[in-house]
């Protein structure tokens, strides 16, 4: 039937927060299953719709779909999906502060999970699991309070290391630094954090770039307000930190400790247990794998994945922040290295036009990058375009002289002479 692909679209669209479209697709899928009386598939779609309505904070509709799904799974004996419906009903009851129903539904969820060994549902991303599994921490903190003597709850708490995540707000943070800065809850499509002060974003970035250590308050005052006297800097620090805490955890009660920012006397740091995903780290991770991989095709996949994250210059809307300059240069140099390695692999794979495109990209960033000229010379030579190859050498000589007042390296001039004087490059190489 057409129902399965439309049910799949519901999952995709809910992750992108396209709730109305997801509901439309889910309702269409239900019409398709009704035509063939497929109650089981209808119940799966009901779960999908229950999830969409939950994220849309339409809890009555979410409950309606989930309770229908529960009845269908009880009839069919499908314990796994019955457990999944209990999980989402638990979330609804938690949001509604319906403690009685939350307690009873949690018991049903835990009973099936442990009886059938479905513990993986709490530990891995699954088809009908939450967009962000951190949602489980505040949920199970509450269930733990409601079921203090329940042995299965104690086992579940150990499984997800509940005690270590006390005070968790229920989401991870996604940070996009390439192009305009975006800081969102859960994933790149998640709701963006609301900032009362722009300076709070800069403070967050300072924490992020130094996330492996406690930072003395004086250091942050110097870096963020170095031009102010100590009293003014101290006042700005307190106001900005307060704005940052409100942006990161808008539901946090006054005087409750922050989960994301830890304090130790006059030092502060990001909580190492907080999950903060950044496109910067994803770029660097893929770049590192691509640089190290021996297989050219595998390496190319990783390098292209890295370049996909580098959509634009980093911290584009924070151009006047001095302490970020070193980080910007580091990322730009890494991008050049990735482009260079990508171009070299394209040469190996005889994808000469691709190699040309990547080498030209390098020269847009740094017109003096000599390896890019060598790749261009070699690529055009391989494409039987010796005149263009020679033109790139002449351009290299000109730019290096004008910009740096130096001559090309012997490696470049040797390549030029080989291109000019040898028709058979392969024999020259050997």
Provide Rg for the chain, Cα atoms: 28
Residue 267 phi, psi dihedral angles, 5° rounding: -130, 150
Write phi, then psi, for 152 (nearest 5 degrees).
Answer: -65, -35
pLDDT at 391 over 70: yes
Domains in the chain (CATH in brackets) are: 3-165 (1.25.40.10), 171-349 (1.10.10.10), 364-430 (1.25.40.10)
Q: Which of 103, 94, 167 is nearest to 137 (CA)?
A: 167
What is the pLDDT, as a whole number, of residue 430? 46
Q: How confident is the model at residue 38 (pLDDT cuts 50, 70, 90)?
A: confident
Each residue's pLDDT tens digit, 268-297 = 999 999 999 999 999 999 999 999 998 999
Distance, in Å, from the CA atom of 142 to the CA atom of 153, rounded to the nearest integer, reads: 11
Determine the average pLDDT of the residues in 363-388: 95
């Amino acid at each position: 039937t057409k129902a399965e692909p439309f049910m799949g679209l519901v999952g995709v669209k809910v992750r992108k927060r396209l709730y109305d479209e997801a509901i439309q697709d889910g309702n269409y899928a239900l019409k398709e299953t009704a035509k063939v009386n497929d109650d089981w598939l209808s119940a799966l779609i009901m779960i999908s719709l229950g999830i969409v309505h939950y994220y849309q904070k339409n809890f009555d509709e979410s409950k309606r779909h989930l309770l229908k799904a529960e009845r269908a799974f009880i009839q069919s004996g499908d314990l796994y999906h019955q457990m999944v419906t209990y999980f989402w009903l638990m979330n609804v009851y938690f949001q509604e502060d319906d403690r009685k129903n939350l307690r009873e539904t949690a018991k049903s969820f835990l009973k099936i999970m442990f009886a059938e060994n479905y513990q993986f549902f709490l530990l891995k991303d699954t088809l009908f699991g939450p967009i962000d599994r951190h949602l489980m921490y505040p949920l199970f903190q509450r269930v733990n309070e409601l079921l203090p003597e329940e042995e299965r709850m104690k086992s579940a708490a150990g499984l997800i290391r509940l005690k270590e995540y006390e005070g968790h707000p229920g989401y991870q943070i996604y940070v996009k630094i390439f192009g305009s800065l975006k800081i969102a809850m859960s994933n790149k499509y998640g709701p963006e954090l609301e900032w009362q002060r722009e300076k709070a974003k800069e403070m967050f970035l300072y924490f992020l770039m130094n996330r492996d250590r406690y930072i003395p308050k004086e250091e942050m005052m110097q870096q963020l307000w170095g031009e102010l006297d100590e009293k003014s800097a101290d006042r700005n620090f307190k106001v900005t930190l307060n704005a940052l805490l409100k942006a990161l955890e808008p539901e946090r009660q006054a005087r409750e400790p922050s989960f994301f920012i830890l304090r130790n006397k006059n030092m502060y740091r990001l909580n190492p247990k907080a999950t903060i995903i950044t496109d910067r780290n994803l770029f660097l991770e893929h770049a590192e794998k691509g640089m190290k991989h021996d297989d050219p095709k595998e390496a190319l996949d990783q390098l292209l994945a890295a370049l996909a994250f580098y959509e634009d210059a980093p911290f584009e809307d924070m151009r006047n922040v001095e302490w970020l300059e070193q980080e910007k240069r580091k990322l730009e140099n890494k991008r050049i290295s990735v482009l260079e390695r990508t171009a070299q692999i394209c040469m190996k794979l005889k994808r000469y036009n691709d190699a040309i495109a990547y080498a030209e990209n390098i020269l847009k960033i740094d017109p003096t990058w000599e390896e890019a000229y060598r790749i261009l010379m070699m690529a055009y030579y391989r494409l039987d375009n010796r005149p263009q190859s020679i033109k790139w050498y002449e351009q290299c000589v000109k730019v290096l002289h004008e910009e740096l007042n130096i001559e090309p390296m012997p490696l470049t001039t040797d390549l030029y002479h080989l291109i000019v004087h040898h028709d058979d490059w392969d024999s020259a190489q050997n």
